[in-house]
Amino acid sequence: MIARRYQEPVSVPDAVIGVLAEAGVDAVFGMPGGYTLKLFDALIDHPEVRTVLTRDETLAGVMAEVYGRLTGKPGVVIGQGAFLVANALLGALEAHLGSAPMLLLGDATDFAPFTHHAPYQAGMALPGNWDARGALGAVTKWAAVVRDGAEAVQVTQQAVRAALSDDPGPVAMIYHGEALDDEVSAASVPRVYPTSAYLPPAPPPVDPAALAAAVRALATAERPVIVAGNGVRLARAHEELAELARALGAPVVTTAGGKGVLAEVDPYALGVFGNFGRPAANEAVGAADAVLAIGTRLAPTDTANESPELIDPERQVIVQVDVSATNLGLAFPVDHALLGDAGEAMRRLVVELGAAGGRPASPPWAAGGEEVWSAGPEAFSDEVPVLPQRAIAELQRAAPADAFLTCDAGENRLFMLHHFQTRQAGTFLQPAASGGMGYAIPAALAAKVVHPGRAAVAVCGDGGFAMTMNGLMTAIEMELPIVVMVLNNGVLGWVLHGQPRPIASRFAPFDHAAMARSMGCGGIRVERPENLADALGRAFAESDRPTVVEVLSSPEQTYRTVASPLAETAE
C-alpha cells in the first residue's frame, strides 16, 4: 500500500522541488524570472538541492543536459517560459537527439489579468500571442501546461518518469501562476503520492532466445567488431564494455558521441570510426564479418553516409543492442535485435559467450596500442601559429587522467575527436547529437558540479568561446574552477574551409586571455608552442579560480586533415 504524500498543506512550489529531491536530483540550473520566482524561493527550503545561477538560460540548458548524461538523473533547468524557448533549447535539442534525461521547468508568465489579449510574455497560443507548449514540445518528448496545484505536482512526477523511461530525453513543464499559488494536501484531488511510485522500473531483460541466437552468430564470427555509442555512457556501462571486448576478443570502435566509453589507452580500443574516424577504426569495421552495435543508432554522420565500405548488411552479420525499440534497425536492417539496457545486455552476453565456449581471451584481430595511436609529426611541430595537433598533444600530457574533456562544435572538436586519446572511460563530452556551438564551457561547468574533485577542461574555438564566455562569471560565482583552452585561429574554421568564397567567417583580433583576466579568472596567452606546457601546467595548478589558456593557432589546418576518404567520397 502507498500512503498519500502530504498530510499537512504544502505550497505547490515546495512540493515541485520536493519531487525533484525525491527523484535524486541534487542540483538545478537556471535564472529566475516571472512566476518561477516561486520555484526559486522554494529552493531555499531544500538545501539538498544545489541552486546554480547562470547568466542566461543557454548555459543552464547545456549544464542540465550534461548533468543528466553523467548522472542518469533528470538534469533540471528552471527559467521563465519565454526565455526557456529563446535560450535553453541548445541543451534541450542535444538532450532530445542524444537521449539525456532532462526537465525544463517554466511558467506561463500570466501576470496580466487578460491573457487572451496577448500580454507579451504569456505564451498561451491565443490570438496575437505565441505558443510556449508548441515551441517546447517540438524538441522534447512532450510538454505539459498545468493550471491546478495538485495536477502540477502529479504531472511533474509523470515528467520525471517520462524523462527517464525507454529512450530518455527532455520533458517540459509550463506552470500557470494559479498553479504555483496553490497548495496541496491530503485532501487534494487528484491525490498526490510519493515520487518513488512514479519512477520507472528497470528495463526488462533481453529476450533469452534473441540473446542465444546473437551469441551463436558472434561466437562463430572470424572478425567481429564492437561499435559502441553514447548509449553505453548513458547506461554507465563502461566496465561491462571492457569485459565484453575481452570475452568476444573483438576490437572496440566508437561513434563520435560514444568517444571514450572505453578508455582509448585500452589495447582493445581503436577510437572513433566514421566520417572523422581514425584509419584503424574504419579498417576494422570495414573488414568485420560481424558488427555488434551497442547504444548507437548508426547514424549517417557516424557511418560516412551509410557507406557500404563500413557497414553492409549484405556481407556482415549485424547485432544491435538498444534500450529503444525505435532505434533497432533504424539505419540498417539487423540480423539480431536485442532490446534492453546496454549494461544488462553486455553482462549477459559475457556470461553466454563463456557458456558457449566463447572466443579466446587474447588480443583482438585488429589491436589498438602504440602503433594505432602514434602521433604524427604535427604533434611535435614548432610552427607558429601553433598547430592544433601540437596544442592537443600538450593538453594530452598536461591533463590529469581522470579529467573531463568537453568540446565545442567546429574544427576544434574534430581535431580533439581524432587526436585526443582518452585515458579513463566516460571522460569525453561533446555536442555530437546536435553539433551546436557554445557547448564546451557550460558542459565543463556541469561536469565540475557533478564531480567537484576532478578537473574539467573546455576546449573551444574563438567562435564558441565568444558565445558562452559569460559562463566564466558563473564559474567564479559558483566556485567551479574549470580550465578553458581556446584555439584562436581568427576564423570560423569549418565554415571558412567549406566555403567556395569566404564570407562572414573571419573575426577581428581579440585577446581572450585578457578578457578572462578582466573577469577575475586566470588568463594566459600562448603564441609559441614551446610555451604550451608551462601555460597548461599553471592552469591545472590553479585550484580556486577558472583559467583560460588562449592558444594562437593556425587556420591552415582544416577538417579535411581528419576526414576519412569515405566521408569525402560521400560528399
Looking at CATH, the fold of the domain delimited by 208-370 is given as Rossmann fold (3.40.50)
Spell out the SS3 assignment of 265-290: CCCCEEEECCCCCCHHHHHHHHHCCE
Instruction: Provide the residue ranges of all domains of the chain, joining segments of one domain with +.
Output: 10-197, 208-370, 376-561
* Secondary structure letter of residue 264 according to DSSP: T
Is residue 84 within 8 A of residue 76, CB to CB? The reply is: no
Report DSSP state, residue 200.
P
Class of domain 10-197: alpha beta
Q: Is 87 helix (H, G, I), strand (E, B) or coil?
A: helix
Q: Cβ atoms within 10 A of the Cβ of 382, count?
A: 10
Other Cβ atoms closer than 10 A to 128: 9
Domains 10-197 and 376-561 share a fold: yes
Which of 392, 331, 7 has its CA nearest to residue 186? Answer: 7
- Measured over the CA atoms of residue 284, residue 285, residue 290 and residue 295, the dihedral's sign is positive
Pairing of strands 10-11, 183-184: antiparallel
- Burial state string for 16-34 with b = 16 or more CB within 10 A and e = fewer than 16: bbbbbebbebbbbbbbbbb
E-strand spans in 39-133? 50-53, 75-79, 102-107
> What architecture is domain 376-561?
3-Layer(aba) Sandwich (3.40)
Contact 26, 72 (CB under 8 A): no
- Between helix 89-98 and helix 57-71 the angle, nearest 10°, is 30
- Tens digit of pLDDT at every position of the chain (571 positions): 888 888 899 999 999 999 999 999 999 999 999 999 999 999 999 999 999 999 999 999 999 999 999 999 999 999 999 999 999 999 999 999 999 999 999 998 888 777 777 777 788 888 888 899 999 999 999 999 999 999 999 999 999 999 999 999 999 999 999 999 999 999 999 999 999 999 999 899 999 999 999 999 999 999 999 999 999 999 999 999 999 999 999 999 999 999 999 999 999 999 999 999 999 999 999 999 999 999 999 999 899 999 999 999 999 999 999 999 999 999 999 999 999 999 999 999 999 998 877 666 566 666 655 557 777 899 999 999 999 999 999 999 999 999 999 999 999 999 999 999 999 999 999 998 998 999 999 999 999 999 999 999 999 999 999 999 999 999 999 999 999 999 999 999 999 999 999 999 999 999 999 999 999 999 999 999 999 999 999 999 998 999 999 999 999 999 999 999 987 654 4
Q: Are 173 and 104 spatial neighbours (Cβ–Cβ below 8 Å)? A: yes
